[in-house]
Amino acid sequence: MKVIIAGGGTGGHLFPGIAVAREIQRRDPQSKILFVGAEQGIETRIVPREGFELRTLPLGGIKGVGAARQARNLVGMMSGVFKAQSILRRFKPDVVIGVGGYASFPILGAATLGGYPTVIMEQNAIPGLANRVLGKWVDFAAVTDERTQGYFGTRAVVTGNPVRPEFKSIQPKQHVPPYTILIFGGSQGAQSINRAAIDALDDLSDWKDRLRFVHQTGERQLEDVQRAYSSKGFVADVRAFFSNFHEQYAAADLIIARSGATTVAEIKAAGRAAILVPFPFATDDHQTKNARAMADENAAILISNSDLNGKRLAGTIRELMGDVNRLTEIESNARRIAILDAETRIANLIEAAVERRSG
């Protein structure tokens, strides 16, 4: 097959698409896969490193920006449809897959107008804008949560959220000091998590020999966070961005992170214990819903962003790392509720969409 995978902007949209691309390649090594994303998206850094071809469109987001920029980006979105049509004519895909994010809209819109088979992937319980608009016209909508089916009617199929195979092969961790605490807030970092982690160090000062930190900060706060760990005498590997995230998960005894759908799926697949701090401004508060579903299964600890501070975070780290039995119970529960064949289910849908149109 010749496949276009469109969208990105964040790792939460992009990495499930990469997992599906790998499954398509596994089934047919001769498949040709083209990613289409935005010029400013994370895909410009990740997709070439993963060995896939990438085309970009000069796009910007519509939600959460000022009126002037919103109008400019809307015009860019419409012109992006014409550029997307050119990509479709040249590549001639058998199917177009949208993984979400504003970069998916022009190519999926053009594919719908052109009569190509289309499949969208929706990671969150509440669909994003692009998927809500285009979901009425696609062949299938692969959704993570059965609550999402109502948005897409009979087109919706519950598949789970695809996770790269490296996360599924992570082995259980033997918890012995020094314990590794992995902290991240997405590819851009999270200021509230960074601040709470720094503030927690004073309350963990007597555990310096029992803890080591691996912390992805994003670009803006890199130097401040590096300086804080160093000045307080903690062993820490602090970087703006980690490219080998599955290795960091494998080494971690505990994860502190936001609760985007892809992060949650990776935590479950890896079987790791986590403290989840939902991003409070996520659309329809979907990150809180993701974290609450984990906490209700005793598969993670939920701390709201408004309740997050250094003292609370330090106390929770002590509580978990001081009770290995509870830690392993949370890990077991996380792995128990993981859906580990999501990319297989989605690849089946993709093949069904192609067969439906060709038949």
Instruction: Specify whether 172 is located in the same domain as 297.
Output: yes
Same domain? 150 vs 235: no
Identity of residue 45: R
Cβ distance 186 to 14 under 8 Å?
no
Same domain for 345 and 298: no
Residue 184 has pLDDT above 70, yes or no: yes
CATH number assigned to the domain comprising residue 138? 3.40.50.2000
Residue 134 corresponds to which tokens in the numbers above?
């285009």
Are 330 and 345 part of one and the same domain?
Answer: no
| Average predicted confidence (pLDDT) for the chain | 91
> Percent of the chain beyond pLDDT 90?
71
31 and 146 share one domain:
yes
Of 9 and 349, more confident: 349
Confidence (pLDDT) at 72: 60
Q: What is the pLDDT of residue 79?
A: 65
Alpha helices by DSSP H, 53-208: 67-91, 104-113, 129-134, 149-152, 165-168, 191-203
**How confident is the model at residue 112, as a pLDDT?**
92
The residues pairing with 237 across neighbouring beta strands, listed in sequence order, are 214
* Residue 326 shares a structural domain with residue 344: no
Q: Find tokens 């000091």 and name the residue.
A: 177
Closest listed residue to residue 338, CA positions, set 250, 270, 251:
270
d(CA 289, CA 261): 10
> Which H or E element spans position 236?
strand 235-239
Residues 311, 173 share a domain: yes
Residue 93: the pLDDT is: 97
Q: What is the pLDDT of residue 118?
A: 97
Answer yes or no: do 113 and 128 share one domain.
yes
pLDDT above 90: residue 315 = yes
Whether 177 and 249 share a structural domain: yes
* pLDDT recorded at residue 57: 86
The predicted structure's pLDDT at residue 198: 97
Number of folded domains that form the chain:
2
Q: What is the mean pLDDT of residues 294-309?
A: 97
Q: What is the pLDDT of residue 254?
A: 98
Q: How many helices (H) and strands (E) does the chain have?
A: 15, 13
The residues near 261 (Cβ < 8 Å, ≥ 6 apart) are 12, 123, 124, 144, 161, 286, 290
Q: What is the mean pLDDT of residues 163-178?
A: 94
Domain that holds residue 274: 167-336
In a shared domain, residues 55 and 69: yes
Please check the confidence at residue 60 and state whether its pLDDT lies above 60: no
Looking at the fold, whether 87 and 65 belong to one and the same domain comes out as yes
Region 306-319: mean pLDDT is 97
Q: Are residues 239 and 151 in the same domain?
A: no
